[in-house]
Chains A and B, each alone.
Chain A
C-alpha cells in the first residue's frame, strides 16, 4: 500500500505559483475540509443545479445550428413528409438539428428533459426547504433568491419552448399572447412591443431567443452562484440527531468525500437525462408541422410546469367586465395572475409572515421535522393540493378521454375542488402530524416493541419493550418548541403591549394556534408507566392459547 508523504511536484509547483499571486491558500485552508451534513433530502437541490449545467452544455450545442428566424423557407431537407412545405427558418433549422446533425436529436431531447428535471428539481428542493423550516433566519435571503430562481426558470422554459416554432409550441405562444393582451391598460401595447406589431409578426422568435440564451440564463447563473455562495458561507442546515446542535455542523469533509460524491451525483443526473433523451421521446416536432395560427391539434399540452396556469384558465367561469368602453377580461386575468401570485408571493413572504406570527428572531440551523410544526406542514400541503389540482385540471381533456368522464364534469369538479381540496388537505395533514408526534412520544416514553413475547408466572403474556436506539431517540428529541408571542391579559385584565390593537390580537391568537404544542415530549408525572413492558395479551385470555 502506497501513501503520499508530500504534495507531488506537479501539483505543489502550480499551487505555490497561484498562491504567490492569489493568496488562495488561506481560503483553501479554511474550506478544503468544510463539513457538509448528510441527508438524502439535501441532494434534491443538487438535481436542479446539475440539470442547469447540462442545460448550458446541451443548449450551447443547439445554438450552433439553430436559426432563430421567422422568415419563410421551403423545406428541402431529408424528412420526406415536410418537403416543399413553407415554414419558418426556426422550424427548418430544428428539423436540420434533428435529422441532419449526428447526435442532434439526442442533445435536443436531453435539453428538453433536463429543462423538465431542472424545474422539477427546484420544486422538490423548495418543498424540502419549506417543510423543514430551512428558510428561517439567517437563510431568508437565500430563500428569496430561490423563489426568484423558480420564477425565472418558468420564464426560461416558456421562451425556450416557443423557439422551434412548431404547431404545438405556437399554440403555447398564442395563449401567451392572449394572456398578455388581456392585461388592463398596458396589455395591447405590451403585446405589440413583444411581437413587433400584430401577432405573430416576424420578431418574437429572435427576441425570445435573446432572452432564452442570454438574458435569463445570465441572471439564473448569477443568482445560482449567489445561492451557492450563501449556502457555503452560512453552512448547510442539518437534521436533528446525536451530537448535532445549533452551534455545530456534523458530517463529511468537502475534500475528498463530499467533492467526489457531488461529482458522482452530477454524473447520475447526466446519465438519467441521457437515458431519457435516448429512450423517452419528447417533443417530436417533425410530427406537429410548422406553426400556423389557423390550426391546432386536440390534446395540446404545455410542459408540466406550465400546466397549473393552463388548468386555471380551463376552470375559470366566463367573467368579463365592460365599462366606459373598456374591457377587463377576468376570465383570463384571474387564472393568469392569481394562482401564480398566490404560490410565488406566498412562498416569498412565508419566512417573514412566520417570523411575525411566532416572534422568533433566533438563528436556526437544525432543520425541523415536518410533523413538529403541524400548521406549517399543513399550509404547505394545502399549497401543494392547490397547485396539484390546477396542474391536473390542465390535462382535463386527457383525463376525460382516458377515463371516460364527461369533460364538463371535470371542469365543474375543478371549480369546487380548488377551494375544498386545500382545506381538506390542511385538515388531514394536521391530523397526520399530530398522530406522528404522538407516536414519537410513545416511542420515547414506552420504548419500542422488541418482538419478544414473555409469559409471566401468572400466565400473562407481555411483549418486551426496549428503549429506542440512541440515534433515533436523539432525532426525535430534536423537536423544538415554537415560540408564541404574549397575548394573555395580566391580572388587571390588560393585554400586553402589542396585543391591544385588532391586528395585535389577531397576531397573538394566530401565534397561539401556530405555536401551541399539543403533544409535548416530556411526559407528565403519572402518564409514563415507569416500566418498559406492555401487556400483549391480557391474563384472562391465556387459556385459549393452550
Chain B
C-alpha cells in the first residue's frame, strides 16, 4: 500500500496508489544502472542553506571524533582496570560505563545534528487507503474457501470429521499430562513442620541451643530455627520461630500458657498473610510487625492480628525444656503455619475442639 506507478499501469489493481511526491517516478530503476534523477527542488523537500550545512558538518565531525575517543577509552579501561574488590569493581564500572555513555551519547547527538542540519526538511505526503480488501477480492476468497472446503470432502464426510476431532483430543491433552511431574501433590505436607517433641530450639545464624535460664531479660527476642535444619530452606520456610520473653503477668488469655516456659513464648515467624518473615518487634508495645505488608500482631495475646491484611494470628508452638535446661519443642504446631490456602479450612476451630476433647 504505497507508492508506485499507478497512472501508467496497474489500472486493474485499484489498491495500488498513485505516485507519492518525493518518491521515484514509475519505471525508475532503483537498483539498476540508470542514473537516478539528480536531487532537484521537489515540493516537500527543503534543503538547508549550504553554509549552515557546512558548519553543522564540523559539529557532527567533532561529535563522531568524541565517540571514537570514547570507544578507545572503553577498550583501554577494560585492559587497565581490573576487578575483584568492591573498590576496584567500582573504578572499573565507572571507567567502562562513563566512556561507553560518552561514546553513545555523542554518536547519537552527531546523527541528530546530521539529520536536522544537513539533511533536507521533509513535508512529504503519502496517501492512505482503507485496510479492507476490495469487495470482489473478498468475494473471490470466500468462493475459493467454500470450493476448497467442498473439494476436501471435510463437509461431506461426517465420519472423517468426527474421528479427526476425536483423534486430536488426547494429543492436545498430552502436553498438559507431561507437566504432572513438575511437582509432587501437596498431600498434608502444608499441615506439618519439622518440629516434634524433644527437638531443640537453636538461635538462627549461630546454631547455639538456648538455655531457658539464660534467656531471662523480659522484652528479649530471638529468631529461632530447629536444631539440625539450620540450612534446610524448605524446613525453615515453615518452622522458623520468634521467641519472646515476658513477665508472667504480661501474658493475656490469647496465649496458651501451657505452651510457654517461664514466660518464654514461641510464635511462628512466617506471616499468615503471604508468608514473609514477621521480623520486626516493638518492645514497648509488644507488637510483631511484618515488614512486607505491615500486618501487626499482639505478642502478649496469642499474636492476634491488630492491624493489616493478615487474617489469622501467628501460630504458637508448645515449648518446654529438656533435662539439660535447653528449650525444646513439645510438639508440632497444631495448625498449618504461613499463608492461607484453599484446603486449609478453619484449622484453628478444629484445633480448639481437639484441645477441648483432650482435656
Contacts and interface: CB of A to CB of B under 8 A. Distances in A.
Interface of A: 1, 3, 5-7, 12, 15-16, 19, 25-26, 28-35, 72, 78-79, 86, 98-106, 109, 138, 171, 174-175, 177-179, 181-189, 191-201, 203, 233-235, 243, 246-253, 256-257, 260-261, 263-268, 270-271, 274-275, 277-279, 286, 291-300, 310, 313-320, 322, 324-329, 331-332, 335, 363, 365, 396-397, 407-408, 411
Contacts of A30: 1-4
Given A187-B341, A298-B280, 8 more contacts: A5-B35, A29-B3, A34-B126, A182-B274, A200-B233, A275-B97, A278-B94, A291-B233
B345 A322 contact: yes
Contact of A200 (B96, B101, B234, B293): B234
B38 A3 contact: yes
B78 A103 contact: yes
A326 B345 contact: yes
Contact of A248 (B23, B128, B291): B128
30 contacts: A1-B50, A19-B31, A29-B4, A30-B1, A33-B24, A34-B2, A35-B124, A101-B83, A104-B83, A105-B89, A175-B274, A182-B340, A197-B184, A197-B234, A248-B125, A249-B127, A257-B120, A264-B109, A267-B108, A278-B98, A295-B204, A298-B279, A299-B291, A315-B309, A318-B310, A327-B340, A327-B344, A331-B309, A397-B294, A407-B294
Interface in B262-319: 269-270, 273-277, 279-280, 291-295, 305, 307-312
A189 B183 CA distance: 8
Instruction: Say whether chain B's binding surface is mostly helix, strand, loop, or mixed.
Output: loop
Interface in B140-183: 179, 182-183
B86 interface: yes
A191 B275 CA distance: 13
B306 to A, nearest CB: 10
B125 A313 contact: no
A102 B115 contact: no
Interface stretch (B185-193, B211-219, B246-254): B185-193
A314 B293 contact: yes
B122 A251 contact: yes
A197 B97 contact: no
A85 B190 CA distance: 29
Nearest to A103: B96
Closest 4 CB pairs of A and B: A178-B274, A278-B97, A267-B108, A320-B311
B225 A294 contact: yes
B277 A293 contact: yes
A297 B183 CA distance: 30
B131 A294 contact: no
A274 B308 CA distance: 40
A86 B232 CA distance: 11
Contacts of A260: 111, 114-115, 119
Interface of B: 1-4, 20, 22-24, 30-36, 38-39, 50, 78, 81-86, 89, 92-94, 96-98, 100-101, 104-105, 107-109, 111-112, 114-115, 119-120, 122-128, 130-131, 179, 182-186, 189-190, 204, 223, 225, 231, 233-234, 236-238, 240, 269-270, 273-277, 279-280, 291-295, 305, 307-312, 338-346
B93 A106 contact: yes
A256 B38 CA distance: 16
Q: Which of B93, B120, B231 has the most CB of A within 10 A?
A: B93
B277 A295 contact: yes
Given A3-B38, A363-B130, A397-B294, A327 B345 contact: yes
A300 B274 CA distance: 14
B128 A246 contact: yes
Contacts of A186: 342
B97 A274 contact: yes
Contacts of B108: 264-268, 270-271
B89 A99 contact: yes
Nearest to B179: A193
Contact of A313 (B31, B81, B293): B293
Contacts of A3: 38-39
Contacts of B184: 192, 197
A195 to B, nearest CB: 7
A294 B231 CA distance: 10
Given A35-B20, A187-B341, A411-B294, A264 B115 contact: yes
A342 B31 CA distance: 53
Contacts of A278: 93-94, 96-98, 100-101
A300 B97 CA distance: 28
B224 to A, nearest CB: 9
A143 to B, nearest CB: 15
A199 B275 contact: yes
A6 B105 CA distance: 34
Nearest to B67: A267
Contact of B312 (A33, A256, A320, A407): A320
Contact of A292 (B93, B115, B131, B236): B236
B237 A397 contact: no
Contacts of B343: 188, 325-327
A319 B122 contact: no
A138 B131 contact: yes
Nearest to B131: A138
Contacts of A194: 182-183
B47 to A, nearest CB: 11
A267 B104 contact: yes
Contacts of A187: 341-342
Contact of A25 (B30, B234, B294, B338): B30
A79 B84 CA distance: 7
Nearest to B54: A1
A199 B294 CA distance: 22
Contact of A171 (B22, B31, B98, B292): B292
Given A103-B92, A195-B183, A331-B309, A298 B291 contact: yes
A251 B276 CA distance: 54
B31 A12 contact: yes
A138 B128 CA distance: 12
B342 A318 contact: no
B20 A33 contact: yes
A466 B283 CA distance: 73
Contacts of B342: 183-188, 326-328
A31 B30 CA distance: 12
A289 B108 CA distance: 39
Given A15-B31, A34-B126, A363-B130, A182 B339 contact: yes
Contacts of B240: 293-294
A356 B120 CA distance: 45
A198 B232 CA distance: 12
